[in-house]
Amino acid sequence: MKKLLELRQQKAALKTQMRSMLEKADSEKRSLNEEEGKKFDELRAQADALEVEISVLKPSPTISAISLVLPLKVSQ
């Protein structure tokens, strides 16, 4: 679960960078320039990749619920 937390923190940091870029451009009443746009797209791609990794590691609520309902069968 430590890895999951680290991935979520990394994704949050990327989203913060993205938000900061947009807010800066907005405060200057402009769109992102070409360089900023490329950087923004790179950050978004990294955040998307982390989201995929997070979804793989995140425990499924369905599986968790089933494990609470069904007794564990022990082989003898």
Distance CA 22, CA 3 (A): 29
Angle, alpha carbons 11-4-58 (nearest 5°):
105
Rounded-to-integer distance, Cα 58 and Cα 52, Å: 10
Render pLDDT for 53-76 as a digit per residue (tens, 0 to 9): 999 988 776 666 666 666 666 565
Domain positions in the chain are 2-60
Number of Cβ within a 10 Å radius of residue 46: 16
pLDDT per residue as tens digits for the range 5-48: 999 999 999 999 999 999 999 999 999 999 999 999 999 999 99
Q: pTM of the prediction? A: 0.74
The rounded distance, in Å, linking the Cα atoms of 45 and 14 is 10
